Amino acid sequence: MKKGITSYYLLAWLVLGGVSCTTSSPTTATMTKAAQAATTPAQALQKLVDGNNRFVNGRMAHRDLRKQAIETTTGQYPFASVVSCLDARASTELIFDQGIGDVFSARIAGNIVNPDIIGSLEFASKLAGAKLIAVVGHTECGAVKGACDHAKLGNLTGLLDRIQPAVKDTPSIGGADRSSKNSDFVNRAAENNVRHAMAGIREQSPILKKMEQQGEIKIVGAMHDIATGKVTFLK
């Protein structure tokens, strides 16, 4: 009986007092000008990778978002820009576990790039100091499905037209269905759409292309699996 009581108190001490049986989530500070300047493009990419790993594993960093909002009133120093889809399941700050002031977030259906998006990225990289541009598509993308089905709806029609080249360049495996009913085709077209967007940034922005060539920034693409939350960066 005495041995059992001793064991009980030992366990209680380990859990509540002396040693925790679980590893706590990390605490992340607000980005500063100095921290941004010291961040390399490769490190910026790793920050997104690490953040997504925390998200997937349910170990998101501890942040005082209200405090971060106050701390960034005098300036913002994001380390990356992320172009992602409007989809409600693909929130940039959540899937990469980032706080206020960490990333510039350009969200638009189908994660397409147009002059306005590219101009925003030029501001983010050239003027505001962000070290990375990530174009992030996702599985089961409604915009890509609409492009596959040649959907027509007001101004959305023109947006979907920008995705058509990626759909056309996506091969059918064994003559498979090329419509939104074929999830495999949709997801491959979505990945192809990311690659087209990356190429579009380089082709339409001599500023960003030169910055990448000089190693000042890195332009990458990725796919987000909405079922698992995992983001896989493209080779």
Single out the residue of 163, 160, 144 nearest to residue 152, CA to CA.
Answer: 160
Please list, in sequence order, all residues whose beta carbon lies within 8 angstroms of the beta carbon of residue 10, skipping any fewer than 6 positions away.
Answer: none
Q: For residue 222, what are the CA distances in angstroms to 85, 117, 192?
A: 12, 18, 10
3-class SS of residue 43: helix
**pLDDT tens over the chain, length 235 residues:** 455 555 544 444 444 444 333 345 677 889 999 999 999 999 999 999 999 999 999 999 999 999 999 999 999 999 999 999 999 999 999 999 999 999 999 999 999 999 999 999 999 999 999 999 999 999 999 999 999 999 999 999 999 999 999 999 999 887 789 999 999 999 999 999 999 999 999 999 999 999 999 999 999 999 999 999 999 999 9
Biggest CA–CA distance in the chain, Å, is 78
CATH superfamily of 26-233: Carbonic anhydrase (3.40.1050.10)
Q: In 91-112, which positions are buried (b, 16+ CB within 10 angstroms) versus exposed (e)?
A: ebbebbbbbbbbbbbbbbbbbb
